[in-house]
Homo-oligomer: A and B are copies of this chain.
Amino acid sequence: MTIVRALVFDVFGTVVDWRSGVLAEARDVESRTGVRADWAAVVDDWRRAYGPSLLEARRASAWRDLDALHRESLVTVLAGHSLALPAVEREALVRSWRRLPAWPDARHGLERLRRRHVTATLSNGHVALLIDLMRFADLRFDAVMSAQLAGSYKPDPVVYATAAELLGLAPEELGMVAAHGEDLVAAAEVGLRPLFVRRPKEWGPAGGDEPPHGLPGLVVAASFEDLANQLGD
């Protein structure tokens, strides 16, 4: 088997806990505005709107960043919950995606994985957002890569192929680390090695994604530390 030389990481849900981070901001919004709601349900609905909004954005002619997509879907989600917030508070929620806590094992696990592998993000978040987020969470990657560099969004194959090209590697030399089956299935179709990390708290009480069935060569890890163990780092 080809040696995996570089690891590219999905970010939201895989490296950082988007739900806790966005929910914390939503509760600050409630304190500031007095607008009461089931914020966990709002945040979960907002995240659920993500997939469809990316699909729609892929069909559009001009690439738009995640802030723009989040801004748009938030209005719809708030309306669905019969809520209204001032623009400045909606913007605070949009910006909260740059201030998300890392999962507890992420920093140390990444340091270990970085010793023998080139590491990079490969997120649908845009470069500017990812830089802010990695600075906030004090996470060190060798490079910040984004679907933005391919002018598309995962799971479009061009995103994974562009990452391999920028890293100067064959797709087989790249591992895709994600807590989501869809990402790994798409990456594997391009030739990347699928590395699933369980994040059972991603959706709070509703749990996390399960590893995809029947994906050849799939590695399943309980954490970044466990992944480092399994890769011999």
| Cross-interface CB contact of A142 among B118, B134, B166, cutoff 8 Å | B134
- For A, the interface residue count at a CB cutoff of 8 angstroms equals 21
Known A149-B149, A166-B148, A168-B126; contact A131-B142, beta-carbon cutoff 8 A: yes
A146–B142 alpha-carbon span in the complex (Å): 14
* Cβ B140 vs Cβ A140 within 8 A: yes
Contact pattern, A 121-137, Cβ under 8 Å of B = 1, otherwise 0? 00000111101101100
A126–B169 alpha-carbon span in the complex (Å): 13
A149–B132 alpha-carbon span in the complex (Å): 20
Interface members, chain A 34-48 (any B CB < 8 Å): none
- Number of identical protomers: 2
| Cross-interface CB contact of A135 among B65, B132, B142, cutoff 8 Å | B142
How far apart are A80's CB and chain B's nearest CB, in angstroms? 29
How far apart are A123's CB and chain B's nearest CB, in angstroms? 13
List the B residue with the shortest CB-CB distance to A143: B144
**Set of chain B residues within 8 Å of A149, measured between Cβ atoms:** 149
A142–B167 alpha-carbon span in the complex (Å): 17
Contact pattern, A 168-192, Cβ under 8 Å of B = 1, otherwise 0? 1100000000000000000000000
Contact pattern, A 112-124, Cβ under 8 Å of B = 1, otherwise 0? 0000001010000
Can you list 6 contacts pairing A with B, beta carbon distance less than 8 Å? A118-B131, A126-B166, A128-B166, A129-B168, A131-B143, A140-B140
